[in-house]
Chains A and B, each alone.
Chain A
């Protein structure tokens, strides 16, 4: 700092330690509860000295909450959203920035507008859409009166019903959440900062657009991709409303939703040690990803929003 201010420095460290403890306390409390037995966790007040039941409790939570299947579902969903979004967005941004074509601005505007509406505000119709992905086609079919034409040809009444449901499927969990522009927007901004000369040079060397994309653009985007992997993995893993709606089957639901079933209801014994053990298991993957990739993540998070 600029000058010596011992009192202020001391204050700084006291506040920071206090802040870290305050932010960490709910986790610490959960961690301690997860190491206790039912007897110990229901003693009032709960012991603040960790017990030795952590492993047992985690096993119990794992089997009772079907966490094996659900963690796998969460993992597939999070990875699907992460890589789906990144791949779709890389191609989209590449198209918008590096090509000259008629509907370029329109395409960008179409994608850009989705920045504004999170899935939470269009849950019902999106659910209907997922329940029958051919809904729009059916509407067009009906509007054109094609049933009549087909019936005329077939010489008898024909009713065509187009139906394909994404409920309780990985596609249903993943696809609707890929429809967002944040990544496209970030890649577009990043591509715009890459010197034009690179592209000129590549063209002069006779590189095709896709060669330029794979050999130059993709390697340059590595940092951004790494940051987005963290952000989107956390986003995907922690989704709540959408998996709640689209899955009815306990075997298709995600871990964050399934955790609810480990919570003790008033009639049950107070199995908070199991619930907390389960919570720790479910929160671990995104925390690990964030902590391990902190450097890229912070850079990406902050730059993404600029």
Chain B
């Protein structure tokens, strides 16, 4: 840590950090520790008796075909959301960056899905894709003879939640890409243009490599979003169905823990998610740290 002009006081610094530490310990460390302990225990649904079973919950988890299916579903879901929202966000940002006079206007027009709750985004898309009333569903039926029904058909339901999540995420990614693009030095682009590089070549040879930290960051954030915050979309739209086809990991934790009251398994699932997110975040810090100096 950089040397600062420090104040010296016996109690004031402790007093200042106390509220944060209290809240963190109460609502973060204690529950996290309890979660880890519970993942090694087996208890009856009413919590009267608990038994320490070491890794049994985890072993059972990775033998459970439903859990393995949920992993695959989550990977597919996150991958699709990331692919769609990142490519669209980058494409639109590149275009907005070209339309110099209208950059602010397009940003204003594209930014606001960021402010919409995932659950509401899910509801909007549910209506749009509703088998009887949704304009898209009707069009699909009329023009392609497709019997579209996300309420019954697994792949349609998946497509619905992917669309709702990707739509919500485009604007967030767009904001970051636009900021990244605007930070690319203009002189570099001009020099390349004088050397006769076409706009496309300039993009791939100069802009894109300079965007790579942004791209990396946005990818991590989109994955984290699709892992966790998409809970609202799943709960509001499909409730994990039909037939468990949209039962992503975080929804399964909720379902097994709060509805199924299978505390051991739910805790073990939480711990798996914790490890996963710690790895992702650590990777992000390790990578970004090299680009930006946190400690100054």
Residues on A lying within 8 angstroms of B by beta carbon are: 1-3, 5, 8-9, 12-13, 15-16, 19-20, 23-27, 29-30, 33, 41-42, 44-46, 88-89, 91-92, 94-101, 103-105, 107, 110-111, 114-118, 120-126, 128-130, 133, 135-136, 175-176, 178-179, 181, 184, 189, 192-193, 196-197, 199-200, 203, 209-210, 212, 234, 237-238, 240-241, 244-245, 256-257, 259-260, 263, 270, 272, 275-276, 279, 282-283, 286-287, 289-291, 294, 298, 301-302, 305-306
Q: List 17 A-B contacts (CB under 8 A).
A: A29-B127, A45-B135, A46-B135, A89-B20, A91-B19, A92-B17, A95-B16, A100-B6, A107-B21, A116-B277, A121-B250, A121-B277, A122-B28, A125-B30, A128-B34, A238-B118, A263-B126
- What CA separation (Å) do A244 and B117 show in the bound complex? 14
**Contact between chains at A305 and B176 (CB < 8 Å):** yes
Chain A residue contacts of B231, Cβ below 8 A? 120, 240-241
**Contact between chains at B175 and A298 (CB < 8 Å):** yes
* B50-58, B61-69, B72-80, B253-261 - the one binding chain A: B253-261
B145 interface residue (CB < 8 Å to A): no
Chain A, Cβ-Cβ closest to B29: A110
- What CA separation (Å) do A192 and B99 show in the bound complex? 36
B159 interface residue (CB < 8 Å to A): no
Chain B, Cβ-Cβ closest to A305: B217
Chain A residue contacts of B23, Cβ below 8 A? 88, 175, 178-179
Chain A, Cβ-Cβ closest to B256: A124
Chain B residue contacts of A105, Cβ below 8 A? 1
**Contact between chains at A124 and B257 (CB < 8 Å):** yes
Interface-centre pick from B12, B14, B91, B115 (highest chain A CB count, 10 A): B115
**Contact between chains at A123 and B253 (CB < 8 Å):** yes
**Contact between chains at A125 and B32 (CB < 8 Å):** yes
- What CA separation (Å) do A101 and B14 show in the bound complex? 9
Contact of A123 among B99, B221, B257 (CB under 8 A): B257
**Contact between chains at A98 and B125 (CB < 8 Å):** no
B112 interface residue (CB < 8 Å to A): yes
| Chain A to chain B: the 10 pairs with minimum beta-carbon distance, closest first | A240-B232, A125-B31, A99-B13, A238-B117, A95-B16, A125-B34, A199-B5, A100-B6, A92-B20, A286-B115
**Contact between chains at B193 and A209 (CB < 8 Å):** no
Contact of A126 among B27, B102, B224, B274 (CB under 8 A): B27
- What CA separation (Å) do A29 and B138 show in the bound complex? 14
B35 interface residue (CB < 8 Å to A): yes
Q: How far is the CB of B247 from chain A (nearest CB, A)?
A: 15
- What CA separation (Å) do A270 and B33 show in the bound complex? 47
- What CA separation (Å) do A205 and B106 show in the bound complex? 49
Excluding A123-B254, A126-B31, A240-B236, 12 further A-B contacts by CB distance (< 8 Å) are A19-B106, A98-B4, A101-B13, A111-B17, A111-B20, A123-B270, A128-B34, A192-B2, A196-B4, A263-B123, A290-B111, A290-B112
**Contact between chains at A279 and B133 (CB < 8 Å):** no
B273 interface residue (CB < 8 Å to A): yes
Chain B residue contacts of A110, Cβ below 8 A? 21, 24-25, 29
B266 interface residue (CB < 8 Å to A): yes
Contact of A44 among B128, B132, B266, B267 (CB under 8 A): B132
Chain A, Cβ-Cβ closest to B88: A19
Chain A residue contacts of B100, Cβ below 8 A? 1
Q: How far is the CB of A176 from chain B (nearest CB, A)?
A: 4
Chain A residue contacts of B235, Cβ below 8 A? 240-241, 244
Chain A residue contacts of B267, Cβ below 8 A? 124-125
B7 interface residue (CB < 8 Å to A): yes
Chain A residue contacts of B199, Cβ below 8 A? 1, 5, 8
Chain A residue contacts of B124, Cβ below 8 A? 26-27, 29-30, 276, 279
**Contact between chains at A12 and B99 (CB < 8 Å):** yes
| Interface of chain A: mostly helix, strand, loop or mixed | helix
Residues on B lying within 8 angstroms of A by beta carbon are: 1-9, 12-14, 16-17, 19-21, 23-35, 38, 88, 91-92, 95-96, 98-100, 102, 106-121, 123-128, 130, 132-133, 135, 138-139, 167, 170-171, 175-176, 179, 189-190, 193, 199, 217, 221, 224, 228-229, 231-232, 235-236, 250, 253-254, 257-258, 263, 266-267, 270, 273-274, 277-278, 281-282, 292, 294-296
**Contact between chains at B12 and A129 (CB < 8 Å):** no
| Interface of chain B: mostly helix, strand, loop or mixed | helix
- What CA separation (Å) do A4 and B270 show in the bound complex? 55
Chain A residue contacts of B250, Cβ below 8 A? 120-121
**Contact between chains at A298 and B107 (CB < 8 Å):** yes
- What CA separation (Å) do A256 and B121 show in the bound complex? 11
- What CA separation (Å) do A3 and B4 show in the bound complex? 49
Q: A110-B24, A116-B277, A283-B120 are in contact. Are A94 and B128 (CB under 8 A)?
A: no
Chain B residue contacts of A98, Cβ below 8 A? 4-7
Chain A, Cβ-Cβ closest to B138: A45
Q: How far is the CB of A29 from chain B (nearest CB, A)?
A: 6
Chain B, Cβ-Cβ closest to A13: B99
- What CA separation (Å) do A89 and B16 show in the bound complex? 9
**Contact between chains at B254 and A241 (CB < 8 Å):** yes
**Contact between chains at A275 and B119 (CB < 8 Å):** no
Chain A residue contacts of B91, Cβ below 8 A? 15, 19
Q: How far is the CB of A204 from chain B (nearest CB, A)?
A: 10
Q: How far is the CB of B91 from chain A (nearest CB, A)?
A: 7
Chain A residue contacts of B6, Cβ below 8 A? 98-100
Chain B residue contacts of A287, Cβ below 8 A? 112, 115-116
